[in-house]
Structure 1
Amino acid sequence: MPPAPAPPRYHQVSIEEVGTPLSQVTFVVVDLETTGGSPKDCAITEIGAVKVRGGQVLGEFQTLVDPGHEIPPYISVLTGITSSMVAAAPRIGSVLPAFLEFARGAVLVAHNAPFDLGFLKAACAGSGIAWPAAASVDTAVLARRLLSRDEVPNCKLGTLAPFFSATTSPTHRALDDARATVDVLHGLFERLGPLGVTTLEELTGLTRQIDPERRRKRHLADDVPHGPGVYLFRGPREEPLYVGTSTDLRSRVRSYFSSSEQRSRITEMVALAQRIDTIPCAHALEAAVRELRLIAEHKPRYNRRSRFPERALWVRLTEEPFPRLSVVRRVRPDAGVFLGPFPDRRAADAAVAAVHESLPLRQCTARLSPRTPTSACVLAGMGRCGAPCTGAQSVVEYADVAAVFAAAVTHDPRPLVAPLLARVEHLAAEERYEDAAVLRDRVAVLVRALRRRQRLESLAAVPELVLARPDGDGGWELSVVRFGRLVSAGCTPRGTTVRSVLGTLLATAEMLPNTDGTPTTSVDETELVLRWLEKPGTRLVQLTGTLASPAPGTGAFSGFLSQVEAGRTGQDPFADSRSLGTRARPERIASPA
């Protein structure tokens, strides 16, 4: 017997590719008559609506509405609706439920939609009725996009209806105008075919404001594939203009040529773009890492984030007999203790100020020698420094103070932070709330930096680990990480074991030349890997070395950070405009005897 034919294979295409065909969309074309032009002090006098789908009329809705007050004479002359005609009509609160039921699940259409929909929304709000979330189309805007001045002098309904040979003439009565708008809508739909607009999603995008030059460049996205990856816009000289990432490259890149993208700098970038390169990736983590590396390498002019990782700031405890804190841009192995990175100078200065509140570290910039005493500065007289410059504090005694900061950075911040929190409570108890808030926010900056540094260092110290996350379709997303750097990525489809492809991933993984303490990658990349590792569902497949957080770490201060975050109320917690000079700070904590 001949073999049975193979069952047909079905491919699920995306909504972006298919969308909702216009022939399958139900439209409710609505028109209102009102007592004036503003819903703030005017009311609806008539509602007319026509429901259509696929060119066929499915139903009509029409009713007069009692506005609750006299209709102005000039409105009666315009519409033919008088106060006596609406005297026995229902009020808007009784009409709205019936209209909303008639329009349920449909796309609302109106000529000059902000006017009609604005009145309907205001009426719902005044009646305590929730306005449904529904798409809308404005035929006036659509006509401006599709018709030229040579065809029609303006886009008024009275002009468009005869142009499209509408069967009903607009008469400033709601149902007649709605019927005329239906014919105008269908006439405009005939103009959409040559433009390739066949879905509701494309129609709603067309009715929004969009630069024609941007729309003409939509062909640049024709060859962009689906799936996760990185995209790179290139300019006239092949220079990288912008680098981005997405879990669906095709959908994301196409959005740059639609009205959903309104950023002015991106509009300028798209106008310059001549080509789009894409790098498909195994999963979202690989895409994010590649994006980060490409931005750091090319520094595209239209990217704002991660362009200059070398400009990150660090707080360094210097290597000298009497170490001090300084803010630097480079981390050098064996050149002291480093805390960071910090996003800007204000955050770094806030962390330094918090440390100085807790520890009597010297703040002078001169290099001190234990064999050459000098005179003391004002900080020594204020009790804010142990005055090692005068010989009052030995190298060993000063080292004990500096060791508190070093221990806080590596594993135990309690001796550094706990006195600061006690000081915050003391200031609040004395009703010195501004000083308490300043100190609290500086401590929050310090604790966040300590937590971030400890978590990243623990990951960066692991020689190798293999991570797996479910892809949502029965397979797994795999990542090989060495010393905090992503060196290989892959996927295993449904029905394939992780071990069956792990050997290939490990064999083809990037080899790292330096593992002697020199950072192998940027802090931002290690943080991306850490976030992926800590997502629910991530599995640790294989580990070489030890992955562990330092003890006791910053866990004891989680409640404090949560309280600070909850009290931010949308404001910058570090937005303290006062100087960080000595006199502007709260009093230093007295060192224990």
Structure 2
Amino acid sequence: MPASKVQHAIQATFDDLGTPLHDVTFVVVDLETTGGSPVASEITEVGAVKVRAGEVLGEFQTLVNPGLPIPAFISVLTGITDRMVASAPRIDSVLPSFLEFAKGSVLVAHNAPFDITFLKAATSRLGLEWPGHAVVDTAHLARQLVTRDEAPNRKLGTLAQLFGAATTPDHRALHDAQATVDVLHALMGRVGNLGVTTLEELQSFTSRVSPQQRRKRFLADNLPSAPGVYIFKDGQQRPLYVGTSVDIRRRVRTYFTSSEQRTRMAEMVGIAESITPIVCATPLEAEVRELRLIAEHKPRYNRRSRFPEKAVWVKLTVEPFPRLSVVKEVRDDGAQYVGPFGSRNQAQDAVAALHEVVPLRQCTVRMSVRGTGSACVLAEMGRCGAPCTGAQSPESYDEVVQRAADALSGDVRHVVEALEERMSVLAGRERFEDAGHLRDRLMALVRAAARAQRIRPLAASPEVVAARRVEQGGWEIVCVRFGRLAATTTTAPGADPMPVIEALRVGAEDVLPGIAPAPAALPEETEKVLRWLESPGVRMVHVDGEWTCPMHGAGGARDRLEPMLRAREEVAGFGEAPGRSLHRPPGAVASGRSGRLG
């Protein structure tokens, strides 16, 4: 795609870089309550300590009148009695003061879900809006960082003793918050040694991310914050994994955090020594480049699209009595082809569906015009006219061949109707398994025929140029030749796009046509281009060729049958998103016609 517009890396945003821990204001909070449920219990004490960069900035402490008796068990545990809270303020006056104290901070608590749930419940009951503080749970961090050899449990008292906290927790809110501050600082020291330096990394920290994996995060430091493709490589510069993103740097950083849960990706990161970014002009270019790179290098950690060249086709042979054959490639031999299929099994299902309705011969022997063989079982069953015996003339057999050719390239209605009628008969006889097999064969046929009918016009068109408005302004321009993405770029907001389009066409890749009906690109690439061309808002600027689909083609049957099948299971066709229409191009444009963009 030589005419692609080069984009320069932009300055990463503050959010993208992450918030350094030394710049974060933490408010470490602890609550005492009358019980364990915020529905049936109330807060009796609030204690909090505000810290930043290891320095205490302030403290907040108050008893709270819960408005109900404190259970004796709780009084024994906390030392807070009904008499102590009788003259204390109610939560409706305490909570606004605390929220003001904690404004703009990150809340920290030991077993944070308990304290935060009580605070949110109280905020809701008072008709206030919860500020949405970021939260750090020291108990969670301790479970990741403190081994059983160091401490028998992760209770606050145990951790305070382990780390030598200056305050001993005693179930009084301020004392427990002060002890939690020391525990927090000790835990932050440990994660700092593992390369965690930002709030976002602290919040997502998990021991499932190995230290080796975290140490590799420097690989993302100089990557551009721009759309495109990224390639993880090993020490010999061999591609390990290829991916795509609208923001390369932001996406790659996730491979070094807990957001990446795939075991094979952790293994890949451990092997990786470098990352190569390729900035792309448009998202479509990024998708196509990713596909081509995966097909070229077959990185071992990519699972999708590693062998797109292995797609198979169904061929209607050229011989005195043609038959259907599953083949690996399209040749310039005058035969009719349909596909591509994602697997040989899918192709065989489609062939079986046609054989159910169209009495083509299924034997593989070569025949002369004069049949001299003996009839097979299919002939005896009436499912073949027995041209091998001379019982069926070449002219009569040609009519059968034409029915098969029409179903593959044009009108599929009679095949679909016959198969649906047969399915109904089988279901009526409670032969549901047989009906299910027939349904699967029918879907394989209509999907592949619809795909072929979509690909064929684009694969045969020397050039298609289309455009779509970009949300930020300007246009996204795509040039396609014989089904291959030849060039793509974007125009500046407010600029006349036509000069850019003409320059794009001049500089676009020269593409030789594929052997019809195959495109000049991998079929999966042509599918991606088609999905873009069919997306909302795309305008056809220039079409050299004819882009049409048959009136009664397989796309209509697929669109009707697919929703019924999806009611039972989600099934996507080869290279297709589930449920996408296959029979409607964005418009039929005559040869040589062009359009202007307003």
Please, what TM-score do these two structures have when normalized by structure 1?
0.78
Does residue 557 (structure 1) correspond to residue 574 (structure 2)? The answer is no
Q: Which runs of 5+ in 1 are unaligned?
A: 1-10, 87-93, 123-130, 575-593
Structure 2 counterpart of 1:526, one-letter code: T
Q: Residues 225-255 of structure 1, C-alpha deviation per residue, up to 9 Å, x if partnerless?
A: 1211111111121211111111111111222
Structure 2 counterpart of 1:276, one-letter code: I
Cα pair 1:26 1:107 within 8 Å, conserved: yes
Aligned to 1:481, the other structure's residue is in SS state: strand
Counterpart for residue 591 of structure 2: none
Cα pair 2:34 2:70 within 8 Å, conserved: no
Q: CA deviation at 1:482?
A: 0.6
Counterpart for residue 279 of structure 2: 280
Counterpart for residue 506 of structure 1: 505
* Structure 1 residues 28 and 528: alpha-carbon distance in aligned structure 2, compared to 1, 3 A threshold: farther
Q: CA deviation at 1:308?
A: 1.1
Q: CA deviation at 1:511?
A: 0.7
Instruction: State the distance in 1 between where 2:430 and 2:259 align.
Output: 50
Report the more deviating stretch, 462-471 or 362-371: 362-371
Instruction: State the distance in 2 between where 1:403 and 1:46 align.
Output: 86
Counterpart for residue 545 of structure 1: 545
Counterpart for residue 577 of structure 1: none
* Structure 1 residues 101 and 408: alpha-carbon distance in aligned structure 2, compared to 1, 3 A threshold: farther
**Kindly, what percent of the aligned residue pairs are identical?**
52
Cα pair 1:138 1:207 within 8 Å, conserved: no
Cα pair 1:468 1:476 within 8 Å, conserved: yes
Structure 1 counterpart of 2:481, one-letter code: R
Cα pair 1:470 1:477 within 8 Å, conserved: yes
1:235-250 map, 5 Å:
235-250=234-249
Structure 1 counterpart of 2:494, one-letter code: G
Instruction: State the distance in 1 between where 2:489 and 2:235 align.
Output: 34
1:137-286 map, 5 Å:
137-143=136-142, 156-161=155-160, 168-172=167-171, 176-185=175-184, 188=187, 199-207=198-206, 209-286=208-285
Cα pair 1:46 1:174 within 8 Å, conserved: no
Aligned to 1:547, the other structure's residue is in SS state: coil
Instruction: State the distance in 2 between where 1:363 and 1:83 align.
Output: 91
Counterpart for residue 428 of structure 1: 427
Instruction: State the distance in 2 between where 1:512 and 1:50 align.
Output: 69
Q: CA deviation at 1:145?
A: 6.5
Q: CA deviation at 1:421?
A: 1.7
Aligned to 1:215, the other structure's residue is in SS state: helix
Instruction: State the distance in 1 between where 2:294 and 2:154 align.
Output: 46
Q: CA deviation at 1:526?
A: 0.5
Aligned to 2:543, the other structure's residue is in SS state: strand
Cα pair 2:28 2:180 within 8 Å, conserved: no
Q: CA deviation at 1:414?
A: 1.3
Q: CA deviation at 1:206?
A: 2.9
* Structure 1 residues 456 and 514: alpha-carbon distance in aligned structure 2, compared to 1, 3 A threshold: closer
Counterpart for residue 530 of structure 2: 530
Does residue 357 (structure 1) correspond to residue 341 (structure 2)? The answer is no
Counterpart for residue 290 of structure 1: 289
Report the more deviating stretch, 364-373 or 401-410: 364-373
Instruction: State the distance in 2 between where 1:134 and 1:407 align.
Output: 64
Does residue 456 (structure 1) correspond to residue 447 (structure 2)? The answer is no
* Structure 1 residues 377 and 53: alpha-carbon distance in aligned structure 2, compared to 1, 3 A threshold: farther
Instruction: State the distance in 2 between where 1:469 and 1:202 align.
Output: 38
Report the more deviating stretch, 373-382 or 280-289: 373-382
Instruction: State the distance in 1 between where 2:120 and 2:368 align.
Output: 76
Counterpart for residue 366 of structure 1: 365
Structure 2 counterpart of 1:444, one-letter code: M
Cα pair 1:47 1:65 within 8 Å, conserved: no
Cα pair 1:33 1:174 within 8 Å, conserved: no
* Structure 1 residues 118 and 331: alpha-carbon distance in aligned structure 2, compared to 1, 3 A threshold: farther
Q: CA deviation at 1:46?
A: 7.9
Counterpart for residue 495 of structure 2: 496
Report the more deviating stretch, 471-480 or 143-152: 143-152
* Structure 1 residues 227 and 389: alpha-carbon distance in aligned structure 2, compared to 1, 3 A threshold: same
Structure 2 counterpart of 1:401, one-letter code: V
Structure 1 counterpart of 2:265, one-letter code: I
Instruction: State the distance in 1 between where 2:70 and 2:370 align.
Output: 95
1:31-430 map, 5 Å:
50=48, 109-112=108-111, 136-143=135-142, 156-161=155-160, 168-172=167-171, 176-185=175-184, 188=187, 199-207=198-206, 209-334=208-333, 336-430=335-429
Report the more deviating stretch, 451-460 or 193-202: 193-202
Comparing both chains, which one has the higher relative contact order based on Cα–Cα distances under 8 Å and sequence gaps of 6 or more? 2
Q: CA deviation at 1:158?
A: 2.2
* Structure 1 residues 323 and 206: alpha-carbon distance in aligned structure 2, compared to 1, 3 A threshold: same
Cα pair 2:46 2:60 within 8 Å, conserved: no
* Structure 1 residues 569 and 29: alpha-carbon distance in aligned structure 2, compared to 1, 3 A threshold: farther
Cα pair 1:205 1:259 within 8 Å, conserved: yes
Please, what TM-score do these two structures have when normalized by structure 2?
0.77
Report the more deviating stretch, 344-353 or 144-153: 144-153
Cα pair 1:241 1:300 within 8 Å, conserved: yes
Structure 1 counterpart of 2:554, one-letter code: T
* Structure 1 residues 79 and 339: alpha-carbon distance in aligned structure 2, compared to 1, 3 A threshold: farther
* Structure 1 residues 361 and 153: alpha-carbon distance in aligned structure 2, compared to 1, 3 A threshold: same
Aligned to 2:319, the other structure's residue is in SS state: coil
Report the more deviating stretch, 392-401 or 156-165: 156-165
* Structure 1 residues 21 and 214: alpha-carbon distance in aligned structure 2, compared to 1, 3 A threshold: closer
Q: Residues 381-402 of structure 1, C-alpha deviation per residue, up to 9 Å, x if partnerless?
A: 2222222222222222222112
Q: CA deviation at 1:195?
A: 7.7
Q: CA deviation at 1:285?
A: 0.6
* Structure 1 residues 163 and 69: alpha-carbon distance in aligned structure 2, compared to 1, 3 A threshold: closer
* Structure 1 residues 107 and 24: alpha-carbon distance in aligned structure 2, compared to 1, 3 A threshold: closer
Report the more deviating stretch, 330-339 or 510-519: 510-519
Instruction: State the distance in 2 between where 1:121 and 1:397 align.
Output: 80
Report the more deviating stretch, 169-178 or 301-310: 169-178
Aligned to 2:417, the other structure's residue is in SS state: helix
Report the more deviating stretch, 195-204 or 541-550: 195-204
Question: How many residues are matched?
Answer: 556
* Structure 1 residues 117 and 325: alpha-carbon distance in aligned structure 2, compared to 1, 3 A threshold: farther
Q: Which runs of 5+ in 2 are unaligned?
A: 1-9, 86-91, 122-129, 575-598
Instruction: State the distance in 2 between where 1:147 and 1:267 align.
Output: 22
Q: CA deviation at 1:316?
A: 2.0
Aligned to 2:256, the other structure's residue is in SS state: coil
Q: CA RMSD in A?
A: 4.8
Cα pair 2:371 2:387 within 8 Å, conserved: no
Instruction: State the distance in 2 between where 1:399 and 1:68 align.
Output: 95
